[in-house]
Chains A and B, each alone.
Chain A
Amino acid sequence: MKHLRNVLLVALLLLLALSVGAQGKNIPEPKAKVKLDWWYQDWSGGINWIKEYIPVFEKKHPNVAINLIPVPFGDLYAKFIPSIAQGNEADILFGYDEWLLGKDVSKLFTPLTPTLMSKEEFKEYVYTPPLKNVTAKDGNIYGLPALTGANAFGFTYHKDLFKQAGVSAAAVKSWDDLKAASKKLTVYNADGTIKRSGILFTYTEAANALLDMIQMQGARDKLLDKKTNTWNFSIPEAKKALETFKWFVDNKTFDPQSGDPFQSFPNKIGAMLLIGPWNVGGTMTNFPELEVSYLMMPPFPTANDKLVLGSVVSYGTYFASKRLKGDKLNGALLLFKEIMTNPADFCDIPFYKKPPLWVGAVALKKYVDELAKRPADKMNEFAQTALTATQKGLPAINTLDTRISEPILIRQVIHPEMVNVFFGKKSVDDALKYMSDFLTKQEKQLAQ
C-alpha cells in the first residue's frame, strides 16, 4: 500500500514537473514598471484587436505597459530591416516572416528558444511550417508566428448577391463550379458590358493563385529548379492555369478594369473576390452594412486533385528586439508567453466582435485544438471560417523556395503579365516566357 502510494506520489510529481515544463521557463515579472513600444501594422481591425488585448495582458502583468504604435503596411515593410540595422526598431515588432526570406534571423532578433522555452516545447504551441523563416541555422526560433491572412485561400462573397443569383457557396467545390457561379452572378448593362463582375481577382492573390494552380497539377519542380535557379513557366501546367484566369475575362464574368477590388467589392461591383479570409473582417469593419462570408479555394484542375495553397505565404509574426535586456526583455517574453499559453484570450477577440476584426488561419496550435473542441453553440461563423481555413489551408501550404521577395515576384512581374494577358496586350505564351526570363535572371542574380 505504502509502495503504491509512493509510486502515485512520484507519478504526480512527474506530471506536475511536465506540466510546468510545458509552460516554458519561469520568466520573472519586471521588478520596476517597464514600457514596451510595439510596432503593429496599421489595419483598423488589427489595431482594435491589439487595443482590446493590451488591457487583458496588462491586468495580468501590472509592471508591463504596452505602447501600441500603428505603422502603415508600406512603411512597416520599408523600415523593418533598416531600422534594425540602425538600432532604432521598437521593442516588439509585428512583421511578416516572408520579409526574412534567406536572412540570418539570429542577427536580427532576440531568440525565443531557449530563452522562453525549448524548441520542442515551442513546437507544441505553434505549427511547424510557419516556423521555417524564423528559425536560425542553429535551430533556435526567433519569432512567434501567430496568424496568416491566408491570401488566395479562397473567396470573400456577398451573401445577398449569392442568394439573389441562386448560388450556394457550399456547392462550389471545383473551378468548373466557380466558372458556373461567376456566370450566374454577373450582371450586364443593356449594351452587353459588365455592370457587376461575377468574380474579382485582387492584384497579388491572382498571381499567388496562379502559382498554386501550377503546383496543384504537380509541376512544382518543373516551375522552379532550385539547382539551376531557373524558372520555367513555359510548361502546359502554367498555360492551363493562366488560361483559366483568362476564361473569366473572355467569358465576361470578370472585368479587369473595374477598379481597385478593395473598393469595387464593397461597392458590389463584384460578387466575390479572390483574397484571404482576413478580408471578411476587413470588409465588414469598414462597411458594417454588408454581409459577407468566405468560401475556400477549390483544388485545380478538378475537385479530386490535391489542394495546394500558399506558394507565397506570409505569417503575421511577433519579434522581440535583440537590444532588449533585463526587465524589458522579461516584459516582452511575458507577452509572447501569454499569447502562446493562453491563446483564447488573444485569438477570440477578433472572431467574436461584431463586426469581426479579423478572420484567418491561426498558427497557434493550442488555440486551434481548443477551437476544434468548442461546442457548436459557442462557435460563431467567423471562428468556424478561421478553423476551416486553418485545418484545411495550413496543411495545404507548399511555399516555393525562391529568393525573390513577394512584392517583386508577384507585384512587379507575375501580376503585370497576367494583366497584359487580360487586356489582350500579350499572348499567354509570351507572358509566360517573359515571366520565366525575368524571374530566372533575378533568381540567378540573388543566388550570386
Chain B
Amino acid sequence: MSTEALLLLKKRRKPLNSFILLVALVVLVYYTLVGIWPFLYNIWLTFRKTDLITEDKWIGLSNYAYMFTDPIFWKALWHNAYYLGVMVITGIVTSLIFAALIYRTKGAARKIYTALFFAPVVTSMVAVSLVWTLLYFPKIGLFAQVISGLFGVSRDKLVFLQGTGSALLCIMIMDIWRDTGIRTVIFLAGMDEIPDSLYESAHMDGASQLRQFFGITLPLLTPQLAFIAAVYSINAIRVYVPIYMMTGSPPGGPANSTMVLTLHMYLSAFYGQRFGYGSAISMVMFVILFGLVLLEIRAFQQRWEY
C-alpha cells in the first residue's frame, strides 16, 4: 500500500474513532446513571437509617446486624431456596418430558403443541396470578370442586393458598406451568441440533428409546440445561409478582409462609419506610445473584462437542 493510501485511511479512521468514542461515552454515562450510581447509592443506604426525606442518620452495620437476627429474613431466604430447588428441578423435568413428546410429532401437530405450551408465556403474570387465585379459592374454587368431585377429598382440606404448608407450593405450581412453554421450546431447539446419525447408530446397536434419551439426548442438552438452570435460579431469587398478587393482604401470608426476599425488601423499605434495611436485604440478594451469575458464566465457558 502506498504512503498516500495509508494517509487517506488514517484520515478516514479519525471521524469513525470519534464517533465510536461518542457512542461509548453516551453508553457509559447512561450505565453510570442507571446502573453504577444507584448501586453505589444503595450500598451507602445500607449504612443509614433513613426515610429519604425527613430522617437520615449513619448507623454503621446496624442494618446488617438486625437482618441476621430477623426471623422473617431467614424465613424468606429459606423460601427462596425452596422455590429455587422446586422450580429448577421440577421445571426442567416437566419441560424435558414435554419436549421429548413434542419432538416425536411432525408438521402441523408439532406447531400446534408448541403454540399451546407457549401460550401462557405471553400472558401477563398479573392476569395469570389473578385467575389462578380464583381457581385456588378454598371450598368453592374450581380446583376444590374438581379435586373433591374426582377423589372425594373433603373440600375443607383443600385450602390451597390459605394453608401455611400449601400456599408457596401452589404458587410454584402456577409459576412452573406458566413457563413450561419457554423451557420446552429451548429444549426442542436443542434436540433439533442433535444429529440424526447418532440416533440411527444407537438404533442399529439395539438401544431402546429410553436408553437413547438418557445416553444421547440428555448429555447433548447440557448447554440448554445449564442455561435454564441458571436463568430459573436467578428468577427464583427474584420472584415477586405471583407472590404479591396471589397472597393478597397481607402479602407473604398466611403467617409469612410465602414471604420471600424481594417482598421482605419491598415491605421493609416502602411500607416500613426503612430504606436502609431494605437496601441491606437487596445487597444480600445481590451477593446471591452474583454467585449464580458466576456459575452461569462458568457453565457457558465449557465446550460441548458432538
Does chain A bind chain B?
yes
Tell me whether B249 and A411 are in contact (CB under 8 A): yes
In the bound complex, residues from chain B placing their C-beta under 8 Å from that of A258 are 138-139, 162
Q: Is A108 an interface residue (CB 8 A)?
A: yes
Q: Which chain A residues lie closer than 8 Å to B250 at the CB level?
A: 203-204, 407, 410-412, 415-416
Expressed in whole angstroms, the Cα–Cα distance for A77 and B51 within the complex equals: 13
A441 to B274, CA, bound (A): 14
CB of A255, distance to nearest CB on chain B (Å): 8
Judge whether B62 and A448 touch: CB under 8 Å: yes
Q: In the bound complex, do residue A78 and residue B270 qualify as a contact, i.e. CB atoms below 8 Å apart?
A: yes
B261 to chain A, nearest CB (A): 14
Give chain A residues whose Cβ lies under 8 Å from the Cβ of B138. Answer: 257-259
Q: Is A34 an interface residue (CB 8 A)?
A: no
- How many angstroms from the CA of A255 to the CA of B254 in the assembled complex? 14
The stretch from B53-61, B197-205, B235-243 touching chain A is B53-61
Residues of A within 8 A of B71 (CB): 438
Question: Hey, what's the 0/1 contact readout for A406-422 against B, CB within 8 Å counting as 1?
Answer: 01101110011101100
Q: How far does the alpha carbon of A410 sit from the alpha carbon of B139 in the complex, in Å?
A: 27
Chain B residues lying within 8 Å of A408, measured Cβ to Cβ, are 267-268, 271-272
The answer on a CB contact under 8 Å between B254 and A416 is yes
Q: Whole-angstrom distance between the alpha carbons of A404 and B277 in the complex?
A: 13
Selected interface stretch from A5-13, A79-87, A209-217: A79-87
B271-A82 in contact (CB<8A): no
Q: Report yes or no: A405 in contact with B255, Cβ–Cβ below 8 A.
A: no
Q: Say what secondary structure dominates the interface of chain A.
A: helix
Main secondary structure of the interface of B (DSSP, over half): loop
CB pair A416 B256 closer than 8 Å? yes
What B residues does A202 contact at CB under 8 A?
249
CB of A251 closer than 8 Å to a CB of B: no
**Interface footprint category on B:** 35 or more
Among A259, A260, A420, chain B packs the most CB atoms within 10 A around the CB of A259
Report if A226 contacts B (CB, 8 A): no
What are the interface flags for A186-222 relative to B under an 8 Å C-beta threshold, 1 for contact and 0 otherwise?
0001010110000000111000000000000000000
Taken residue by residue from 106 to 137, chain B's Cβ proximity to chain A (1 for < 8 Å, 0 otherwise) reads as 00000000000000000000000000000001
CB-defined contacts of B57 to chain A, threshold 8 Å? 448
A85 to B154, Cβ gap below 8 A?
Answer: no
List of B residues within 8 angstroms of A256 by Cβ = 162
B53 touches A85 (CB 8 A): yes
The answer, yes or no, to whether B52 is at the interface (CB within 8 Å) is yes
Indicate whether A448 sits within 8 Å of B140 (C-beta atoms), given known contacts A415-B250, A419-B254. no
Whole-angstrom distance between the Cβ of A216 and the nearest chain B Cβ: 24
Residues of A within 8 A of B268 (CB): 408
* CA A441 to CA B266, docked complex, whole Å: 20
Contact A257 B159 (CB under 8 A): yes
The answer, among A77, A191, A203, A438, for a CB contact under 8 Å with B249, is A203
Given A259-B137, A407-B267, A438-B71, A107 and B154 contact (CB-CB distance below 8 Å): no
Query: Per-residue CB proximity of B27-55 to A under 8 Å, as 1/0?
Result: 00000000000000000000001011111
Q: Which residue of A lies closest to B264 (CB)?
A: A412
Contact of B270 with A108 in the complex, beta carbons under 8 Å: no
Whether A77 contacts B54 by the Cβ 8 Å rule is no
Looking across the interface, which residue of chain B has its beta carbon closest to that of A75?
B270
Q: A86-129: which residues lie under 8 A (CB-CB) from chain B? A: 99, 102-104, 107-108
**Which residue of chain B has its CB nearest to the CB of A416?**
B255
Q: Which of B59-74 contact A (CB under 8 A)?
A: 59, 62, 66, 69, 71-72
> Assuming A85-B52, A85-B53, A411-B249, is B163 touching A257 (CB within 8 A)?
yes
Which residues of B in the span 126-158 have a Cβ within 8 Å of any Cβ on A? 137-140, 154-156
Chain A, 244-291, CB within 8 A of any chain B CB: 255-260, 262-263, 267, 269
A423 / chain B contacts, CB cutoff of 8 Å: 164, 254-255
A425 located at the interface, meaning its Cβ lies under 8 Å from any Cβ of chain B in the complex: yes
- Indicate whether B219 reaches chain A with its CB closer than 8 angstroms: no
B253 at the interface (CB under 8 A from A): yes
Q: Does B273 contact A (CB under 8 A)?
A: yes
Q: A259-B162, A416-B255, A448-B49 are in contact. Are A405 and B273 (CB under 8 A)?
A: yes
A84 to B, closest residue via Cβ: B53
Chain A residue contacts of B181, Cβ below 8 A: none
Cα(A108)–Cα(B138), bound, Å: 44
CB distance from B241 to the nearest CB of A (A): 12
Whether B267 lies near A103 (C-beta < 8 A) is no
Q: Does B215 contact A (CB under 8 A)?
A: no
Chain B nearest CB, measured from A187 CB (Å): 12
CA distance A81 to B275 in the complex (A): 11
B122 to chain A, nearest CB (A): 24
Tell me if B248 counts as interface (CB < 8 A to partner A). Answer: yes
Across-interface contacts of B137 in A (CB, < 8 A)? 259-260, 263
Residues of chain A within 8 A (CB-CB) of B91 are none
Which residues of chain A come closer than 8 Å to B252, judged between CB atoms? 412
Specify which of A108, A267, A407, A448 lies most central, judged by the most chain B CB atoms within 10 Å of its CB: A407
A405 CB contact (under 8 Å) in B159, B248, B253, B272: B272
A26 at the interface (CB under 8 A from B): no
Closest Cβ of chain A to B69, distance in Å, is 7
Q: Is A427 an interface residue (CB 8 A)?
A: no
Determine which residue in A194, A204, A411, A420 has the highest number of CB atoms from chain B within 10 A of its CB, and name it. Answer: A411
Q: Quick check: is A445 within 8 A (CB to CB) of the other chain?
A: yes
Is the Cβ of B255 less than 8 Å from the Cβ of A419?
Answer: yes
Whether A445 and B255, one on each chain, are in contact in the complex, defined by CB atoms closer than 8 angstroms, is no
Residues of A within 8 A of B53 (CB): 81, 84-85, 103, 107-108
Which chain A residue lies CB-closest to B163? A257
Give the nearest-CB partner of B158 in chain A: A257
Instruction: A194 to B252: give the CA distance in the assembly, Å.
Output: 26
Among A191, A194, A416, the one with the most B-chain Cβ atoms within 10 Å of its Cβ is A416
Task: List 25 contacting pairs A-B, 8 Å CB cutoff, sorted by A.
Answer: A78-B271, A84-B53, A85-B52, A103-B54, A193-B154, A203-B250, A203-B253, A204-B250, A256-B162, A257-B163, A405-B272, A407-B267, A408-B272, A411-B250, A411-B253, A416-B255, A416-B256, A417-B255, A419-B164, A419-B255, A420-B164, A425-B255, A438-B71, A446-B49, A448-B59
Task: With A77-B271, A448-B49 given, name 20 new contacts (CB 8 A).
Answer: A78-B271, A81-B51, A103-B55, A203-B250, A257-B156, A260-B248, A260-B249, A262-B249, A407-B250, A407-B267, A408-B272, A411-B253, A412-B256, A412-B267, A416-B256, A419-B255, A420-B255, A425-B164, A438-B71, A446-B49
**A residues touching B (Cβ–Cβ < 8 Å)?**
77-78, 81-82, 84-85, 99, 102-104, 107-108, 189, 191, 193-194, 202-204, 255-260, 262-263, 267, 269, 404-405, 407-408, 410-412, 415-417, 419-420, 423, 425, 438, 441, 445-446, 448
Q: Which residues of B contact A (CB under 8 A)?
A: 49, 51-55, 57, 59, 62, 66, 69, 71-72, 137-140, 154-156, 159, 162-164, 248-256, 266-268, 270-274
Question: Closest 4 A-B residue pairs measured CB to CB?
Answer: A411-B250, A407-B271, A78-B270, A419-B255
